Amino acid sequence: MNWFESKKGTAAGPQPDAELEQVLVDFRQSAHAWSEAEFNRPRAVRVAAHSAWRHALAWALGCVVVAGGVSGGIYEHRRDVVARQLAHDRILHQQQLAAQQKANETDESLLANVDTDVSRSVPAAMEPLAQLMDENGTN
């Protein structure tokens, strides 16, 4: 009497037919044999080593990413500062040029006004004499 037969009529539940019963016995023997072989097989602790290696790699990558981020940030900041300084210098230079130009323009217009004022200081009644003097001067 096999195990299945010994359980018939007890709390064994649904009963398989004879052919299926034999397959299930083979299945059980296969599971037992496999389990026994694996249970008694010595195993190397490779999971821990693998895990440590992975941790080291993860740390190294993390450090590279952080260092890259920090140095990138510093570079960007530095570039921004230099650009701002250059822009400031340029604006200052332009302002100086504009001021100088304005100063030059003021001197020239003052002299022009003086010329005009001086030339118009001759009274209208003496205008023909002034013309005469001009003609004599040219001749």
Partner 1 sequence: MTAQTAEELSAQEFARIVETHRPQIFRFLLASTRDVDLAETLTQECFLKAHRNWSHFRGDSTAMTWLMRIAINLQKDHWRNRRMQFWRQTRSNSVDVDEASEWLPSGERTAEQQLLARERVGQVWKAVEGLSERQRTVFLLRYVEEQDLGDIAKATGLSEGTVKAHLSRALGKVRAELGGKR
Summarize as ranges the residues that interact with partner 1 (CB under 8 A).
3, 7, 10-14, 16, 20, 23-24, 26-39, 43, 47
- State which residue, 34 or 53, has the beta carbon closest to partner 1: 34
- State which residue, 57 or 97, has the beta carbon closest to partner 1: 57
Q: Do 4 and 17 form a contact (C-beta atoms < 8 A)?
A: no
DSSP per-residue codes, 49-100:
HHHHHHHHHHHHHHHHHHHHHHHHHHHHHHHHHHHHHHHHHHHHHHHHHHHH
Q: How far is the CB of 19 from partner 1 (least distance, A)?
A: 8
Residue with tokens 């604006």: 91
Q: How many CB atoms lie within 10 A of CB 76?
A: 10
Give the torsion through C-alpha atoms of 74, 80, 86, 91, to 10 deg: -150
CA distance 77 to 83: 10
Q: How far is the CB of 1 from partner 1 (least distance, A)?
A: 14
- State which residue, 31 or 63, has the beta carbon closest to partner 1: 31
Q: How far is the CB of 15 from partner 1 (least distance, A)?
A: 9
Q: How far is the CB of 20 from partner 1 (least distance, A)?
A: 6
- State which residue, 7 or 90, has the beta carbon closest to partner 1: 7
Q: How far is the CB of 49 from partner 1 (least distance, A)?
A: 14
- State which residue, 7 or 93, has the beta carbon closest to partner 1: 7
